[in-house]
Structure 1
Amino acid sequence: MLTPSLMHHLSIVPDFRQAWKVQHQLSDILFLTVCAVICGAEGWDEIEDFGHAKLDFLRQYGDFEAGVPSHDTLARVMALVNADQLQTAFAEWMKACHDVTAGAVVAIDGKTLRGSYCRGKGKGAIHMVSAFSAANGVVLGQVKTGEKSNEITAIPELLKLLNLQGCLVTIDAMGCQKKIATQVLQKGADYLLSVKENQPALADAFEAAFPMSKVVNFEGDAYVTDEKNRGRQETRYHIVSDITEDFQHLSYEWPGLKTVGVVMSFRQEGDEAPESPMIRYYISSAELSAMKLAEAARQHWFVENDPLQDGIQGDTLSPIADGSL
């Protein structure tokens, strides 16, 4: 079955301009803008230049009877487009052309976009919450928030856009919320949530169930990774367990809770003594092995710390949707 094209999805976005004034089709403008930004264009002038350079390609999918819109026309028209509808159209296209496989990790992460803050114009920084297909390195969907603290409300909106059947959804501690866990399960997926002090009952249960003496002498499923990069060595020790007595009273509050995990990491620079270990706690609705926990956590950290996510991929939809290019 042929996958619906990007132009097909963009043509659904309504055009509120007066018909007798229209020179360039809205679908042409949207298609040009999305293609240019994906290819690295960072301003309306560059989008127009892209259009002139790739006009033959663009005409294979759109009309472009009047040629390429000017950068002023692009900026003016895009400012009138409903950002939510454009965002939904883009996410539906990504859903149609990207199949997530069972067990695939989808990492949900928030980032403040570089260069989006402008004090002179009184413009605050743009913060995006994005869903990444960790295996393929593509953005499945994005939602813009006013600030990082709004991630809790943005994540449910993002989950609504995504096809997550059979996936393992990883979210940092900000998204460790009962309602979010429930929504992930309702999408036919499993969750892997990082636990910190924002969930004190969970944090207390982990400290009681996994004191340092038990972690270092753990007799259950454990897995160790050791990475060296530019003179730095990082060792991570992963353990997983079924629900213990310390979590019994919480298992009724957290839907589908099956696995708890602990990751202890040590970092050493050159010949210096290792730093104090960092402890991370996790809860999951999936029956994870220690190796699977290690793989999922690593993929999430990669997305979280990948500088590319602050650049083209992180910007792919947001500056289009709010006219901020």
Structure 2
Amino acid sequence: MAQKPLLNYLEMLPDPRLPAKCSHVLSEVVFMASCAMMCGFDTWSEITLFAKEREQWFRRWLTLPGGIPSHDTFNRVFAILPPDSLKAIFQEWIGDILDDEKLSGQLAIDGKSLRATAKGKGANAVHMVNAWSTELGICIGQQKVAQKSNEITAIPVLLQQLELAGCLVSIDAAGTQVNIADTILKRSADYLLAVKDNQPTLNAEVQTRFQAYWDSTTTDEPGPGFSEQFDAQHGRKEHRRCWVIAVDEHMPVCQSWKAKTIIAVQAERVVSGKGHDFVRFYMSSRVLDAATALKATRSHWSVENLLHWTLDIAFGEDQLQARAGHAGENLAVIRQWILNMLKRNTSRKLSMANKRKLCCLNDDYLFESMGLFKL
């Protein structure tokens, strides 16, 4: 677990408020909200209800000079709290838990909109770009996409915040940009990027090379250049085939991206008796064999299946209406922090939704998850 309890980290938050007008301690407000959210209380009214019912419990650790904040106070505090401050201590927590586990393996980068943070015609929802460690199964960083911008500008900012050395960074086609590839390489990491029509010259070269290979090859033998997998579960059958080709002097566009491998993955699916067949193309700055490339392309989607899906299903993120100031972004960071803490608590084998319920029912489990000391 983390080296320090969550409250110790929150006490490092710089307070943007005027001291003379504050009746609540900033770290205590954020801590109470975090405890409530870990226990399944997500809206401002629910957080206030939880804090009031657990007031004596909170007084074990907190001073509570102004008592329990109202729901409006919780809202205002999160709205004015600079998100960079909260993300900075989140990154410190990540650094502490990785102290003996050097970050390695694959990092999947993908964006997610918080749909309920937009209201009214023309309003834009908060959109976060997240970094997911497929090996550790935790979120290690996030960056909000600026208004009137897109993920292309947010991804390099996020990458600069992370220790990437030795990692394979996978991103879908929206992130297939020269500056993003260069950022990854300059930070001593490698990229795995999807290749689609948003880079037409690159896409044409990759597809032409593979088509020439397929036209000249009659059989595929398992080995460094070809791998396949079969799956049959939950009423779905899937056959995946992967080909890799080393980039050479006949591929000048790929060479300009400093790519070393191009990849094609064909997936044939049969779901409820209906068949689907599609091919996806990728390139990587790392030399990959077919089996490794197939695993990496599949692992990328764990950011959707294990992070974004969990945030929607277990936390109801798309239904939560935090629209004032920075509240939406700050709560997104807190939710991911909670998700990480609960994932790292392996004392019970439970779904994420049931882990949150158990936190509400069992103080010891909550203490374990948040790094608190039992009293």
Into which bin does the TM-score normalised by the smaller protein fall? Answer: 0.7 to 0.9
**Contact in 1 for aligned 2:190/2:285 (Cα 8 Å):** yes
1:231 partner letter: G
Distance 1:224 1:147 in 2: 42
Identical-residue share of aligned pairs (%): 37
Q: What is the 5 A alignment of 1:120-139?
A: 123-139=123-139
Distance 1:102 1:13 in 2: 25
**Contact in 1 for aligned 2:169/2:191 (Cα 8 Å):** yes
Residues 44/23 of structure 1: CA separation in 2 closer, same or farther (3 Å cut): same
- Residue aligning to 1:210: 210
| Aligned residues: CA RMSD | 3.2
Structure 1 SS opposite 2:263: strand
Q: 1:221 aligns with which of 222, 225, 237?
A: 225
Q: Deviation of residue 201 (structure 1)?
A: 2.2
Q: What is the 5 A alignment of 1:3-14?
A: 3-14=3-14
Structure 2 SS opposite 1:159: helix
- Residue aligning to 1:49: 49
**Contact in 2 for aligned 1:44/1:74 (Cα 8 Å):** yes
Q: Deviations over 1:33-60 (max 9, x none)?
A: 3343344332112222333455566556
TM-score, L = length of structure 2: 0.74
Q: 2:257 aligns with which of 246, 249, 254?
A: 254
**Contact in 2 for aligned 1:7/1:62 (Cα 8 Å):** no
Once the two structures are overlaid, the 10-residue window that deviates more, 11-20 or 197-206, is 11-20
Once the two structures are overlaid, the 10-residue window that deviates more, 290-299 or 85-94, is 85-94
- Residue aligning to 1:289: 289
Q: Deviations over 1:144-201 (max 9, x none)?
A: 2257960000101111222223221110010011211121223332211111111122
**Contact in 2 for aligned 1:111/1:310 (Cα 8 Å):** no
Residues 17/226 of structure 1: CA separation in 2 closer, same or farther (3 Å cut): same
1:233 partner letter: K
- Residue aligning to 2:27: 27
- Residue aligning to 1:119: 120
Distance 1:247 1:154 in 2: 30
Q: Deviation of residue 30 (structure 1)?
A: 2.1
Residues 114/18 of structure 1: CA separation in 2 closer, same or farther (3 Å cut): closer
TM-score, L = length of structure 1: 0.84
The answer to whether residue 83 in structure 2 is matched with residue 83 in structure 1 is yes
Distance 2:166 2:63 in 1: 39
- Residue aligning to 2:356: none
Q: What is the 5 A alignment of 1:1-325?
A: 3-54=3-54, 58=58, 62-98=62-98, 101=102, 103-119=104-120, 123-146=123-146, 150-211=150-211, 212-213=214-215, 217-218=219-220, 221-251=225-255, 253-255=256-258, 257-272=259-274, 274-275=275-276, 277-306=277-306, 307-311=309-313, 315=317, 322-324=326-328
Residues 268/313 of structure 1: CA separation in 2 closer, same or farther (3 Å cut): same
Give unmatched runs, 5+ long, in structure 2.
Answer: 332-375
Distance 1:314 1:192 in 2: 31
1:125 partner letter: A
Give unmatched runs, 5+ long, in structure 1.
Answer: none
Structure 2 SS opposite 1:193: strand
Structure 2 SS opposite 1:108: strand
Residues 180/35 of structure 1: CA separation in 2 closer, same or farther (3 Å cut): farther
Residues 105/86 of structure 1: CA separation in 2 closer, same or farther (3 Å cut): same
Distance 2:164 2:316 in 1: 20
Count how many residue pairs are aligned between Structure 1 and Structure 2. 320
Residues 311/10 of structure 1: CA separation in 2 closer, same or farther (3 Å cut): farther
1:111 partner letter: K
Higher relative contact order (CA 8 A, sep 6+): 2
Structure 2 SS opposite 1:68: coil
Once the two structures are overlaid, the 10-residue window that deviates more, 233-242 or 180-189, is 180-189
Distance 1:80 1:72 in 2: 12
2:108 partner letter: A
Residues 154/27 of structure 1: CA separation in 2 closer, same or farther (3 Å cut): same
